[in-house]
């Protein structure tokens, strides 16, 4: 054992043996040796790596304990988007029949009966795993489907995930799967949390999501996470099988965990039969599912059916009815949300439903509460809507129903005391305190600082609580007036943490228009609507001073023109703000005409202390760049001065294109730290490569 050659041979044998027993124990539930025997093998492997550090590699089983804490989770852009699957909420057999009939209409009746691969719909967290030459090199969360977070160090701690694939895997293989937690493991985790005086988790899915996004991998290593793989993403050097079922069989063959309850079925009857079979099996499964997934088995037919904007046409999730239980209503109070909406919440005698203990359930709004006629003291039926959010379904047995037991919506906000109001046409009753209301203020600040908005890393809930309670920040504009001494005076904020937060606030002073609009928290304006608004108006001034009545009239006029153009066989004209209806336009208009909101935006964009909002490329406007002069960029690796998403937004605001792959048409590849295969591809094709400083210099000239 003294020679390096002998040490390597023993190390390889031990590594493979420990990983084999990991798989037998954690994946196949069929251990061959005792815990003591396993521990002896593991300790021998550790000792060997201590004596020969050159043998220790990232894919060694000894590295599952977790590395050093991270400063932040880096963004990862998915080369192939991680799309969501359309959910069919009808839990009857008719949903399966409708899906099958729709596909037959699209493919032609001669294509039937169609063959499907039916799978479980896990209630977990989607993840992408990249293997290169059979070794796990990167793991990322789904994120928004386009950009996720790098969780490689955390994923390496999960024992059901192979660090090295078996057999002869493809040179590049990206697999997609679901991180989850068994119910028994979740219960044991919560018992440990209680014993240590720590927060208990609401359900296995939330516990898994929180564990996966830890900055300290050692915390993730202590959480009982597992994985099932359900598909592939980017692949190179592999003759991909022709069916979904064969792909899963092949993935299982190289050591990836694939659930055994998958089944190939034919036609609507086969789908409905699978749905019923898994429904009967569901209570005995060791983990939560909220439905099953049907996928056209033929990859050729999948390609023919194609995709909608955010989901494939060839797949659907068929849900199960949510689990229900009965309990007593102890009280009804209200919660105030970010937009000021007052939501009635039933405080319940704790009941176990859908795998978790439930003591609170939403009543949605006053109309729903009255329709269901819920009083304090009633026995009600409770379910977890979508198996996640508890809600009151209805009254099972009325209580004594004394006058004091009837809920009345308060006339004043329970948080700030401002009057409440209910606008015509709205179901929600809202606090009129706006950003003056602490409940709204906290949520507004958290939203403003969130990753998809202004991305102020480190400004979390506890810090926001302090800033609001101490009246240091009354609205988002005040964030840019905080100094180092004020930040350092906050609890649990050392000098280094205060400096880092201050730097992150400074970095957020420059924002693309779409992110800024989203960050404002306008009711009804999510990321996609913010992008539509940014593309249409181009600048913040144009957005702030929009003539909404004129836009609405233009939309109606163009739609009428398009009806005539369609009859004449002419192509339609572009409809302004397509996808934004009159109610949402009215909500935006109200927000922008509120003097307090305009004052906040004015202070936010003060040229001396505020945010510089970068213009977008507005539809139909001249960017100043002839189409032939627009450049195509590819971004790879990690940039230190900005995220790749920010770099992409900056380039697109200047009229240039950002592509996900390198080709002969690429003008520049921007390579940050740890640049991968795209950099190599650029060199092979002779595409100019820029480092970060060269990229910044070029930006100043574009």
Q: Rounded to whole angstroms, how far apart are CA atoms 608 and 589?
A: 27
Which is nearest to 273 in space by CA: 210, 308, 318? Answer: 318
Q: Are 448 and 476 in contact (CB under 8 A)?
A: yes
Which is nearest to 294 in space by CA: 101, 28, 143? Answer: 101
| Residue 275: strand, helix, or coil | helix
- Catalytic residue, chosen from 5, 121, 372, 566, is 121
Query: In sequence order, what E strands does 468-547 have?
Result: 510-512
Neighbours of 39 (CB within 10 A): 11
The angle subtended at Cα 580 by Cα 575 and Cα 584, nearest 5°, is 145
Q: Rounded to whole angstroms, how far apart are CA atoms 702 and 687?
A: 18
Token pair 């790596």: residue: 49
Q: How far is CA 131 from CA 135, 138, 151, 256, 289, in A?
A: 5, 7, 14, 11, 27
Torsion of CA 181, 185, 188, 189, to 10 degrees: -30
Alpha helices in 285-411 (DSSP H): 299-305, 366-372
Q: How far is CA 620 from CA 539, 561, 629, in A?
A: 13, 18, 17
Q: Rounded to whole angstroms, how far apart are CA atoms 99 and 209?
A: 31
* Beta-bridge partner residues of 175: 129, 232
Q: Rounded to whole angstroms, how far apart are CA atoms 630 and 524?
A: 34
Q: Rounded to whole angstroms, how far apart are CA atoms 200 and 25?
A: 27
What letter would DSSP give residue 501?
A: H
* Beta-bridge partner residues of 348: 329
121 catalytic? Reply is yes
* Beta-bridge partner residues of 671: 636
Active-site positions read 121
């Amino acid at each position: 054992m003294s020679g390096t050659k002998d040490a390597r041979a023993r190390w390889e044998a031990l590594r493979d043996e420990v990983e084999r027993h990991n798989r037998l124990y954690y994946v196949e539930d069929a251990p061959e040796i005792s815990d003591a025997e396993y521990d002896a093998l593991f300790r021998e492997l550790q000792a060997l790596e201590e004596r020969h550090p050159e043998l220790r590699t990232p894919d060694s089983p000894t590295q599952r304990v977790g590395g050093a804490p991270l400063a932040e989770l880096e963004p990862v852009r998915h080369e192939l988007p991680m799309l969501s699957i359309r959910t069919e909420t009808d839990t009857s057999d008719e949903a399966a029949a409708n899906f099958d009939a729709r596909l037959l209409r699209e493919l032609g009746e001669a294509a039937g009966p169609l063959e499907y691969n039916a799978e479980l719909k896990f209630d977990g967290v989607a993840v992408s795993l990249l293997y290169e030459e059979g070794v796990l090199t990167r793991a990322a969360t789904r994120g928004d489907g386009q950009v996720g977070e790098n969780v490689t160090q955390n994923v390496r701690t999960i024992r059901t995930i192979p660090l090295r694939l078996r057999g002869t895997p493809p040179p590049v293989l990206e697999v997609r799967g679901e991180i989850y937690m068994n119910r028994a493991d979740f219960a044991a985790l919560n018992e440990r949390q209680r014993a240590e005086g720590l927060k208990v988790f609401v359900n296995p899915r939330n516990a898994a999501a929180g564990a996966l996004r830890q900055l300290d991998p050692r915390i993730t290593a202590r959480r009982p996470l597992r994985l099932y793989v359900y598909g592939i993403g980017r692949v190179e050097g592999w003759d991909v099988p022709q069916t979904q079922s064969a792909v899963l069989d092949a993935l299982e063959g190289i050591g990836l965990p694939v659930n055994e309850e998958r089944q190939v079925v034919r036609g609507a009857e086969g789908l409905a039969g699978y749905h019923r079979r898994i429904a009967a099996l569901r209570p005995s499964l060791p983990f939560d599912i909220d439905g099953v997934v049907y996928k056209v088995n033929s990859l050729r037919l999948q390609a023919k059916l194609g995709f909608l904007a955010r989901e494939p046409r060839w797949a659907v999730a068929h849900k199960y009815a949510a689990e229900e239980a009965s309990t007593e209503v102890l009280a009804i109070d209200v919660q105030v949300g970010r937009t000021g909406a007052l939501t009635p919440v039933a405080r319940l005698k704790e009941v176990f439903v859908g795998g978790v203990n439930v003591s609170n359930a939403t009543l949605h709004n006053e109309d729903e509460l009255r329709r269901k006629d819920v009083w304090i003291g009633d026995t009600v039926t409770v379910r977890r809507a979508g198996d996640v959010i508890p809600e009151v379904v209805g009254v099972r047995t009325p209580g004594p129903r004394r006058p004091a037991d009837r809920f009345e919506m308060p006339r004043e906000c329970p948080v700030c005391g401002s009057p409440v109001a209910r606008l015509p046409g709205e179901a929600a009753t809202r606090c009129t305190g706006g950003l003056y209301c602490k409940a709204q203020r906290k949520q507004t600040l958290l939203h403003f600082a969130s990753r998809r908005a202004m991305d102020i890393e480190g400004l979390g809930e506890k810090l926001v609580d302090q800033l609001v309670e101490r009246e240091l920040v009354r609205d988002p504009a005040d964030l840019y007036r905080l100094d180092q001494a004020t930040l350092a005076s906050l609890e649990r904020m050392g000098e280094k943490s205060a400096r880092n937060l201050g730097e992150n606030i400074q970095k957020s002073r420059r924002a693309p228009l779409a992110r800024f609009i989203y960050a404002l928290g306008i009711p009804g304006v999510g990321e996609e609507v913010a992008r539509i608004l940014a593309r249409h108006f181009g600048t913040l001034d144009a957005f702030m001073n929009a003539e909404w009545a004129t836009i609405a009239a233009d939309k109606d006029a163009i739609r009428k023109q398009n009806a005539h153009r369609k009859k004449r066989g002419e192509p339609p004209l572009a409809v302004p703000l397509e996808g934004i209806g009159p109610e949402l336009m009215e909500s935006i208009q109200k927000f922008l005409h509120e003097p307090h909101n305009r004052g906040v935006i004015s202070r936010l964009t003060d040229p001396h202390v505020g945010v510089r909002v970068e213009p977008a490329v507005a539809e139909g406007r001249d960017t100043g760049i002839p189409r032939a002069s627009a450049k195509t960029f590819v971004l790879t690796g990690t940039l230190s001065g900005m995220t790749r998403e920010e770099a992409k937004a900056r380039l697109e605001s200047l009229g240039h294109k950002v592509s996900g792959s390198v080709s002969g048409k690429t003008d520049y590849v921007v390579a940050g730290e740890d640049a991968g295969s795209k950099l190599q591809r650029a060199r092979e094709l002779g595409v100019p490569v820029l480092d970060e400083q060269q990229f910044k210099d070029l930006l100043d000239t574009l």
